[in-house]
């Protein structure tokens, strides 16, 4: 537990705002065995960075076929600065809050329709309506298209959540690039009109917050069961074309370098075998040092995207995520 950061040279308040937990050691052999099986399966398919056709990478004709859609999901279009912003909405029988969810995929692949079951389970378990944003993808729509769409969806929720869902208790979150977009959205709202305060919490799973690559992302290499350094560079090249390393470290691009004051409580989670390990631990440290309430969980041997897989550490994290979201909306 770490104390709240005070003013330079001044006393530090006593109230702790950061908790750190390491988990998964009791089931580490199961996690390792699953990682090995997944690596063998993925080895039969070309990695993303060797697929020339981005449309093919998005097609689902690979190791991760498109999952079935649930009847509980409802497609809508929200107003946005570049036209309509598609969203997928899950509304449980009793709604105590609204969760704005931003999907993974490095801003290049992925969709709001790729995890219906997980989002419906979250909606029912936490008692929240879930609004999943189908933001525009690169290379057709490079930065700042994705954060523009996410900001527009967030602003719509701030203005319409009570009339649409009967509550203005909001939470934001995402996975991988979606976690980065969630942070970016909060920063944009904070720096314009302070409407970020409508969001009571942020659930940030294995996010990438430095497009110039932190040490763990830079040194991960090509030996990974899901995400590797070449794949990360491929995604960055599409999402932020032509940018130099210095430009990629601009706080408007990489939120790890931003001023993080006055942000909501956040739960960060990452695995020890994830190239996003440094991104998550660095961001959690800076989040807490800026005076924001922070929970960080590091999961033994878990890989990037581990919550998608049928293993015990995923089951536990999904439950903890539902508990976090439910606790935030109260």
pLDDT tens across 280-291, in order?
A: 999 999 999 999
Do the bridges between strand 128-133 and strand 170-175 make them parallel or antiparallel, or are there none, so unpaired?
unpaired
pLDDT of residue 7 exceeding 80: no
pLDDT of residue 155 exceeding 50: yes
pLDDT value at residue 58 = 76
What six digits make up the tokens of 131? 């609004």
pLDDT value at residue 3 = 37
pLDDT of residue 323 exceeding 60: yes
The mean pLDDT value for 255-266 works out to 98
Q: Give the Cα separation of 308 and 180 in Å (integer).
A: 18
Binning the chain into helix, strand and coil, the percentages to the nearest 5 are: 40, 20, 40
pLDDT of residue 217 exceeding 50: yes
Q: Cis before residue 154, ω within 30 degrees of 0?
A: no
pLDDT value at residue 107 = 97
Q: Residue 48 — very low, low, confident or very high, per pLDDT cuts 50/70/90?
A: confident
pLDDT of residue 9 exceeding 50: no
Q: What is the DSSP string of 127-149?
A: TEEEEEE----TTTS-TTHHHHH
Domains in the chain: ranges and CATH: 2-329 (3.40.50.1820)
Q: Return the number of other C-beta atoms located less than 10 Å from residue 68's C-beta.
A: 8
Q: Which SS3 state, helix, strand or coil, does residue 248 take?
A: helix
Question: Of 11 and 149, which is predicted with more confidence?
Answer: 149
Q: Which residues contact 164 (CB under 8 A, 6 or more apart)?
A: none
Q: Residue 62 — very low, low, confident or very high, per pLDDT cuts 50/70/90?
A: low
Question: Of 4 and 140, which is predicted with more confidence?
Answer: 140
pLDDT averaged over every residue in the chain? 92
The dihedral formed by the CA atoms of 157, 163, 166 and 172, expressed in degrees to the nearest 10 = 0
The mean pLDDT value for 4-20 works out to 52
Min mean pLDDT across 5-14, 168-177, 202-211, 229-238 is at 5-14
Q: Which residues contact 222 (CB under 8 A, 6 or more apart)?
A: 47, 228, 229, 230
88 forms beta bridges with: 75, 132
pLDDT value at residue 60 = 63
pLDDT of residue 61 exceeding 90: no
pLDDT value at residue 4 = 36
pLDDT value at residue 1 = 37
pLDDT tens for each residue of 174-188: 999 999 999 999 999
pTM as predicted? 0.93
Q: Return the number of other C-beta atoms located less than 10 Å from residue 44's C-beta.
A: 8
């Amino acid at each position: 537990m770490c104390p709240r950061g005070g003013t330079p040279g001044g006393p530090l308040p006593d109230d702790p705002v950061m908790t750190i937990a390491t988990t998964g050691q009791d089931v580490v052999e199961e996690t390792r065995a699953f990682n090995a099986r997944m690596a063998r399966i993925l080895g039969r398919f070309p990695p993303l960075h060797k697929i020339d056709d981005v449309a093919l990478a998005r097609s689902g004709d690979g190791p991760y076929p498109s999952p079935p859609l649930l009847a509980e999901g409802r497609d809508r279009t929200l107003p946005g600065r570049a036209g309509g912003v598609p969203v997928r909405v899950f509304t449980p029988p009793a709604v105590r809050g609204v969760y704005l969810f931003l999907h993974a995929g490095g801003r290049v692949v992925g969709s709001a329709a790729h995890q219906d079951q997980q989002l419906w389970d979250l909606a029912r378990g936490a008692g929240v309506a879930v609004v999943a944003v189908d933001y525009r993808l690169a290379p057709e729509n490079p930065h700042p298209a994705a954060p523009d769409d996410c900001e527009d969806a967030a602003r719509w929720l701030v203005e319409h959540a009570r009339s649409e869902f009967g509550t203005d208790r909001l939470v934001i979150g995402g996975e991988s690039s979606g976690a980065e977009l969630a942070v970016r959205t909060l920063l944009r709202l904070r720096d314009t009109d302070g409407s970020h305060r409508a969001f009571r919490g942020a659930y940030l799973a294995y996010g990438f917050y430095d497009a110039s690559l932190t040490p763990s992302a830079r040194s991960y290499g090509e030996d990974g069961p899901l995400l590797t350094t070449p794949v990360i560079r491929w995604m960055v090249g599409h999402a932020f074309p032509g940018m130099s390393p210095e430009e990629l470290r601009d706080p408007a691009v990489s939120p790890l370098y931003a001023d993080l004051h006055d942000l909501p409580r956040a739960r960060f989670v990452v695995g020890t075998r994830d190239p996003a390990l440094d991104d998550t631990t660095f961001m959690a440290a800076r989040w807490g040092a800026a005076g924001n309430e922070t929970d960080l969980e590091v999961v033994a041997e878990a890989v990037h995207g581990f919550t998608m897989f049928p293993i015990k550490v995923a089951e536990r994290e999904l439950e903890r995520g539902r508990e976090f979201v439910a606790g935030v909306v109260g």
